[in-house]
Amino acid sequence: MTYDDSNVFARILRKEVPARILHEDHLCLAFADITPQAPTHFLVIPKRPIARLADAGAEDKAVLGHLLWAAADIAARLGVAHDGFRVVINNGARAGQSVFHLHVHVLAGRDMAWPPG
Ligand code: 5GP
């Protein structure tokens, strides 16, 4: 799908909208979710304008790997990696995606059910 840079994560990247930032580097930004679904809930987003996982191309492979590395590294720094954490990417409206800038959810601090809803 076409990337629309008026979405809220693009605005957070441009620092037009405040967020509780946990990590930033040349490829990604991580910040606390505004409506946490677990005691720890943060999002890792690429700086590149990718609307959905399905829109990532071969040129994005390194960025996609970096997002997962950052997710685990931040979870470790927050002290939640040992007990377990869940990583979720909602791709498309039917899967629950509501912000169309690719983001990795990281949830921790409570028991998780499976299958997810
Ligand atoms: P999705 O439903 O697209 O997978 O996830 C979007 C997530 O972004 C939701 O968990 C929602 O709480 C979070 N979110 C939406 N708007 C904002 C915002 O302005 N700031 C932050 N920090 N999180 C947001």
Extents of the domains making up the chain: 8-108
29 lines ligand 1 (CB under 6 A): no
Active-site residue, selected from the candidate residues 41, 101, 103, 105: 103
**CA-closest residue to ligand 1 atom 1:** 97
The architecture (CATH level 2) of 8-108 comes to 2-Layer Sandwich (3.30)
pLDDT, tens digit (0-9, with 9 covering 90-100), for 9-22: 999 999 999 999 99
As a whole number, mean pLDDT of residues 46-74 equals 98
Q: Which long-range contacts (CB under 8 A, 24 or more apart) does 51-60 make?
A: 51/1, 51/2, 51/3, 51/4, 51/100, 51/101, 51/102, 52/1, 52/91, 52/92, 52/97, 52/100, 52/102, 53/89, 53/91, 53/102, 54/91, 54/92, 55/1, 55/3, 55/102, 56/102
6 lines ligand 1 (CB under 6 A): no
| pTM for this entry | 0.98
Query: Quick check: 117 pLDDT over 90?
Result: no
